Chains A and B, each alone.
Chain A
């Protein structure tokens, strides 16, 4: 045994940054001994494991200590913690997982892993209604003391976390975001602000070492961590072939309860969730449904309240006529028996108050 020059975590981070790595190979490496020893053996060209191709060994033995130093520096710079399964702050629900990441990079408060956890996932091309639902559900769960796990992707993912961050009560729990890229590579770029906010108030998790770009293969890997971290997984909107369905499959493998939000038939964004319901998943129409699935006392769920301006009776009537389906302004004018000018004014007022949303000329009512 040689004494190691750097702390053990830096060797673990370096091992996680090796080329041609899969999460299985990394687990084999980490399980084979202390990370510093493994690193030295790889550097020395020892092929101490069976079942790994020559090409992979050759690629591994080509790395030098500069990789170790760069990765470690990046981690320190960006305040990224490196967790191994032996670390006390490694999420407990991942330890028993057969496909648990051997090395996990985190930024933020790791205590949040100890809370009850619900995953909220869904399509990136979500409807305004779906985003609103994810937002509200995130806020309500957080207020009730449940941590929301999601992937910080566009659409449903980011909305659920925006909802969580909007709940600023004493008891509210910050979010857990599992991302596919390195923690210093913001993807998608427009989420840089919420990325930082999650890192400050909640916790950012990634299997990818710092500097890694979000290559397509990393997303299914990320999805398995979301599934493993969640006790209940809520799918808000998904196409039947969407990426969310891969998370659902991972969750089902792990016996994580999958719940789905029912949507209008014929809406592409609800194809996947409606399929799930048909296959026997429990429906989610309000936060109580999720809390019941967690066996939590749902009577406290009412602490979250809608902060939108209360509507006048005629506005409420108007909103009910608009319904949930997307309508063009002309259709709404016909439905409400108004002329188009009055309709536009009504919609403008309701939009200002946050009760309707407009996507490319299609209007939707946002009723929780």
Chain B
């Protein structure tokens, strides 16, 4: 928790400095793998902030991100559910195993 507070403080400090003094945002050398981790929320708070800064000013990076995000959005189109019969079976199995345990306790 202390680590997260330190990181958050760093992010806020960077944001304050870039905005107060019109500093050019640090761009870093972000790879497509970094973008993927950002896309799937696997980056820490500092990296996420840095990538967002870079995306706002790096056209190529933004293009790559858009490509990934569009494909990700399309994957969201597929969403399936199991049948009620299957769900009923599982719940019945669970109830039966619970009853068996209680009887044998």
Do A and B pair up? The answer is: no
Interface of A with B (CB < 8 Å)? none
Interface of B with A (CB < 8 Å)? none
